[in-house]
Amino acid sequence: MSVQTNVRKVAILAMMVALSLLLIMFVKVPLFANFLIYEPGDVPILIVGFMFGPAMGIVASLIVAVAMALFTGLGGPFGAFMHFLATGTMVGLAGSVYRLRRTKGGAMLGMLAGGLTMAAIMVVANLLLDPIFYGMPREAVLPLLAPAIIPFNLAKAGINSVVTFVLYKRTATFLRRYSQEAYARGNGSR
What are the tens digits of pLDDT across the range 104-130?
999 999 999 999 999 999 999 999 999
Neighbours of 117 (CB within 10 A): 16
In the predicted structure, residue 55 carries a pLDDT above the cut 90: yes
Query: How far apart (Å, rounded) are the C-alpha atoms in residues 4 and 91?
Result: 25
HEC states along the chain?
CCHHHHHHHHHHHHHHHHHHHHHHHHCCEEECEEEEEECCCHHHHHHHHHHHCHHHHHHHHHHHHHHHHHHHCCCHHHHHHHHHHHHHHHHHHHHHHHHHCCCHHHHHHHHHHHHHHHHHHHHHHHHHHHHHHCCCCHHHHHHHHHHHHHHHHHHHHHHHHHHHHHHHHHHHHHHHHHHHHHHHHHHHCC
Lowest mean pLDDT among 96-105, 122-131, 174-183: 174-183
User: E strands along 39-158, which residues?
Assistant: none
Query: How far apart (Å, rounded) are the C-alpha atoms in residues 28 and 175?
Result: 26
Q: Is domain 3-180 given the CATH code 2.40.10.120 in the classification?
A: no
Q: Check residue 176 and give its pLDDT.
A: 80
Query: Once rounded to an integer, what is the mean pLDDT over residues 4-24?
Result: 90
Among 72, 90, 77, CA closest to 24: 72
Bridge partners, residue 30, by sequence: 37
Determine what percent of the chain is predicted with pLDDT higher than 90.
Answer: 71
Banded pLDDT at 190 (limits 50, 70, 90): very low
Domain ranges (residues) in the chain: 3-180
Query: Once rounded to an integer, what is the mean pLDDT over residues 46-59?
Result: 96
